[in-house]
Amino acid sequence: MTIMDDKKNPLDDPAVAEELKGVPEELLDGGDAPTGTFEGLGGELERLREELEAAKQDVLYAKAETQNVRRRLEKDVADAKAYGATGFARDILSVADNLARALGAIPETMREDDATKNLVLGLEATGRELEKVFAQHGISRIASVGLPLDPNQHQAMLEIPTTDSEPGTVVQEMQAGYMIRDRLLRAAMVGVAKKPE
């Protein structure tokens, strides 16, 4: 075997040449990779890694935003269930006020008279039913008389000079106040004690 035999081109073999028929010439130049094929691959690989990392961050942000939106929607649904009837409840309070005034205005003689006794009992039953419905929907009356003025629940309408109560104490309720669960539905209109002059 001579040195020339070591450098013999395999393409000179007719069987190999037949096998490689149709392969482009630039691929047949001794089996070497074309010049420039691997140049710049390191930079391209780094760019692709950066794009992959950015895409991962975008996915994480999208997941977090989706979770925040879901939580907000759950809270909105819960609030709608709990406080959805607030407007209607405010409107019906005037009906409750009128019924309470009507019951308070009934003289004792009408309560004992056989002709009107059933009417009074019916009105009282209506008042109890209204209170029951309020309770079922989380509507409760605000306590006022005898308590210190709470500006979050009471609206002071007037000051009443008195020595019977400490100044700032609610001594008269002109209109009942109500809460719907933990929110103010309507402030109680009250008279507050002050020192006499």
- 114-136 helix and 86-105 helix, angle to the nearest 10 degrees: 160
CA 93 vs. chain centroid, Å, equals: 27
Instruction: Look at residue 194 in the predicted model and tell me its pLDDT.
Output: 92
pLDDT of 7 over the 70 cut:
no
Question: 139-197, what's its fold?
Answer: Nucleotide Exchange Factor Grpe; Chain A, domain 2 (2.30.22)
- Collapsing DSSP to helix, strand or coil, 94 comes out as helix
Query: What does the pLDDT read at residue 4?
Result: 46
The neighbouring-strand residues paired with 158 are: 191
Looking at per-residue pLDDT, the higher value among 8 and 86 belongs to 86
For the chain, the structural domain boundaries read: 39-83, 85-137, 139-197
**In this predicted structure, what is the pLDDT of residue 127?**
93
Q: State the pLDDT at residue 33.
A: 47
Distance CA 23, CA 193 (A): 107
Angle at the Cα of 111 from the Cα atoms of 129 and 102, rounded to 5 degrees: 55
pLDDT at 3: 45
Is the whole model's pTM more than 0.85, yes or no?
Answer: no
Which pLDDT belongs to residue 27?
66
Instruction: Please report where in the chains the tokens 């013999």 appear, as a residue.
Output: 8
Residues 121-162 have pLDDT tens digits of 999 999 999 999 999 989 999 999 999 999 999 999 999 999
Task: Report the pLDDT value the prediction gives residue 172, as an integer from 0 to 100.
Answer: 94
More confident residue, 31 or 15: 15
**Residue pointed to by tokens 């929607």:** 73
Give the model confidence (pLDDT) of 28-84 as tens digits: 655 444 445 555 677 888 889 999 999 999 999 999 999 999 999 999 998 888 788
